[in-house]
Amino acid sequence: MVWVPLRSTRTDRRAPLRAPTTCCTTMSLEWLMDWSWSLDGLRDFIATGIQSFRDCDATALAAVACLLVLFVWYCYHVGREQPRAYATVNALMQSAEANGVQNGYVYCHSPECVRCTHHDGLNQKLYHNLQEYAKRYSWSGMGRIHKGIREQGRYLNSRPSIQKPEVFFLPDLPTMPYFSRDAQKHDVELLERNFQTILCEFETLYKAFSNCSLPQGWKMNSTPSGEWFTFYLVNQGMCVPRNCRRCPRTYRLLGSLRTCIGNNVFGNACISVLSPGTVIAEHYGPTNIRIRCHLGLKTPSNCELVVGGEPQCWAEGRCLLFDDSFLHTAFHEGSPEEGPRVVFMVDLWHPNVAAAERQALDFIFAPGR
C-alpha cells in the first residue's frame, strides 16, 4: 500500500489510493510535474518516502542509488585533491653536497638540510604528510607515528647522548646498539648466500681505482683521517641507475630482500670502503626505524665498528646488524699491505615497526615529497 497525495483539495490530500500491482513501484510523471512545494506537500513527500522504503519499491531503490552515486563522487573528489605546496622532505634531506660534503655526515648548517637543522617547520610538514596519508587511507595503526611527530622536539632533545637520531624518532621501539641475526633472519641468510656474487662485482669495480683517484660513481666522504669511499646503488630511497647497471646481480638481490627500505629517504644500499688509517668521526644516524646491515666483503685485522660504546668486528661473508641512531664510529688501523676494509651496507626495517607503520612512513618520507 502506497500513500500518494492527490491534488483535489486539502481535506482529501491524504486519501489512500490503491494502485495496481504493476504501478506500486512507480510515481506518476504528471504528479511530479504538478507538484507544489508547500509545507504540506513536503510533509507528504517525506511520509511517502518512508513508506516507499518500507515497501522496498523503486522509489526507495532510486534514492539508495542516488546516495551511492554521491558517495562515489565524493571519494573521487577527495582522491584527486591536490595537496598544498609544502617544501618537500626530500629537498630537506639533501645534505651539504653543494658545499663539498657528501652523504650528510658532516654538519653543513644549511637551513634546508633536515639532518643539520631542527625546527618546528619540519614537524608541521611531517604532520601534514601524515594527515594526507590518513585522508587517503586510514588512521588505523597510526598512533605511534602521530605521537612521534607531535612530540618530536621533546623526544630528540630529551634522548640520552648515546642515542639521538637526527631527524625522526619513533617512540616505544626496543632499543639496543646491536641486533641478533634472527631480527631479520631471511634477509641476513639471503645476503650471506650471495656473498661471492657481491664480492665479485665489487672487485670488478675496484680495479678502476688503479687508473684514477676517484672513479665515476664513487663518493669520497669527509673523515678526520684516511679515506672513506662509498658506491651507492640506492641513496636516500632513490636508485642510482648508472651504478645499478654496473652491479646488476647485487641490485637484483635487493629486490629479493623482504625488509629492505627502498621507498623512503631513510633507505640506502652501498659498498663502503675504508682505507688503512681511516677513522670515521662519531655521529648519529637520522632515525631509529631502521637497522643497518653490514655484510663483510673484505675484513682485515684491526678494524672495528663501535656502536653505543660497544665494539664489534666484521667477518667476511657474515652480516652485522646495528642501530645507527646510536652514537657510532668505525676505524681501520691495519697496515697498508692488508688492503681496505669493505662491507656491503643495506638499510632494513626495524623488526618492531608494523606493516601499517611502514606503509605510512614510506608515504610521509617518500623521495620527492
pLDDT in tens for each of the 369 residues of the chain?
444 444 444 444 444 444 444 444 444 445 445 545 455 666 776 777 666 656 666 676 777 778 888 877 777 655 554 444 333 444 444 433 443 434 333 334 444 444 444 555 677 888 899 999 999 998 989 999 999 898 877 777 777 789 989 899 999 999 899 999 999 999 999 999 999 999 999 999 988 877 667 888 999 999 999 999 999 999 999 999 999 999 999 999 999 999 999 999 999 999 999 999 999 999 999 999 999 999 999 999 999 999 999 999 999 999 999 999 999 999 999 999 999 999 999 999 999 999 999 999 999 999 987
Amino acid 125: pLDDT: 86
CA distance 154 to 172: 14
Amino acid 353: pLDDT: 96
Amino acid 326: pLDDT: 96
Amino acid 39: pLDDT: 55
Amino acid 284: pLDDT: 94
**Cα 233 from chain centroid (whole Å):** 18
Give the DSSP per-residue string, 353-367.
S-HHHHHHHHHHT-T
What DSSP designation does 214 have?
S
Nearest to 287 by CA among 228, 236, 363: 236
CA distance 168 to 148: 8
The Cα-based distances of 119 to 103, 126, 275, 344 in angstroms read: 21, 12, 37, 34
Amino acid 357: pLDDT: 96
Residue 226, classified by CB atoms within 10 Å of its CB into exposed (0-12), middle (13-18) or buried (19+), is middle
> Could you tell me if 182 and 249 are in contact, meaning their C-beta atoms sit under 8 angstroms apart?
no
Amino acid 71: pLDDT: 78
**Domain spans of the chain?**
173-354
Amino acid 283: pLDDT: 94
Amino acid 9: pLDDT: 45
Q: Which CATH superfamily is domain 173-354 in?
A: B-lactam Antibiotic, Isopenicillin N Synthase; Chain (2.60.120.330)
